[in-house]
Amino acid sequence: MPRGVSPRGRRIPGGADGRLTENTGKAEHPDNGAKTDHTKVAAMDVPSNIFLIGPMGAGKSTIGRRLAAALDKTFVDADHALEERTGVDIPLIFEIEGEAGFRKRESELLAELVLREGIVLATGGGAVLSARNRAHLAGHGFVIYLDAPIDLLVARVARDRHRPLMQTANPKATMRELMRIRDPLYRESADLVVNSTHRSSRFVVREILKRIEAP
């Protein structure tokens, strides 16, 4: 069966070879009107690109928006960018192409996104599974791992139907297994590890700013 076609004949935009189609929609997702209470940091004080990694539910998108606003950078959510590129949501990509198809598309798009300048990028939770992705992230920006305990992650995402990997009978066991595999990769990839447990996104952003500005 040609790649990109489901058993019912549905196809995700991008063709049988799995390549993504061009789309005029912008991948950036600025925080509409969100404000921070700290002064913007001079560009010379921080890396040009900051990449946020970590599990689903760690707060990458929320924290990423605030961090981008504080640093006067463009915020990009990799999952949203992929949905805009393909014209369908992530659960449908999983349904039609499976996780392997999703990961291929994710990697192709990530290779493009890291080449931008002046962005804060929130990556998908499984982006670090690919050695190629990890190399792209390490080679083009400063990587921050947002860490959080399993119980908190499950509480945040277990009922979210937009999370295909969590649609299981035992979400906590699923998350535990995902983190068993992914946590070492997050830590290996990170230039900085920040705990986001039970703290506001504003507080986490302040901590990140202090730590990346430290001499």
Each residue of 45-91: pLDDT tens digit? 578 999 999 998 899 999 999 999 999 999 999 999 999 999 999 88
**Is 37 part of any domain?**
no
Distance, CA of 204 to CA of 66 (rounded, Å): 10
Helix (H) or strand (E) holding 143: strand 142-147
Which structure tokens are listed for 76? 């990009």
Does the residue 16 lie in any domain? no
pLDDT tens for 109-157 read 999 999 999 999 999 999 999 999 999 999 999 999 999 998 988 887 7
CA distances from residue 37 to 125, 163, 165, 199 in whole angstroms, order as listed: 28, 32, 36, 16
Decide if 85 is inside a domain. Answer: yes
pTM score of the predicted model: 0.78
pLDDT of residue 190: 97
Within a domain: residue 110?
yes
Q: CA 176 → CA 55, 152, 191, distances in Å?
A: 11, 12, 24
Q: How far apart are CA 187 and CA 184, in angstroms?
A: 5
The DSSP code sequence of 190-209 is -SEEEE-TT--HHHHHHHHH
Place of tokens 């990458």: 60
Look at residues 47, 101, 95 and name the one whose alpha carbon lies nearest to residue 71: 47
Is residue 199, in this structure, part of any structural domain at all?
yes
Q: How many domains does the chain have?
A: 1
Checking if the pLDDT of 187 tops 50, the result is: yes
CATH number at residue 195: 3.40.50.300
For the chain, the C-alpha Rg in angstroms (whole number) is: 17
Three-class SS state of 102? helix
| Domain extent for 186 | 43-213
Coil, strand, or helix at residue 43? helix
96: in domain? yes
Provide mean pLDDT across the span 163-187. Answer: 86
Classify residue 1: in a domain, yes or no: no
12 inside domain? no
Q: At what angle do helices 201-213 and 60-71 cross, to 10 degrees?
A: 50
Strands 119-122 and 74-77: parallel
Instruction: Using the predicted structure, report yes or no on whether residue 17 has a pLDDT greater than 80.
Output: no
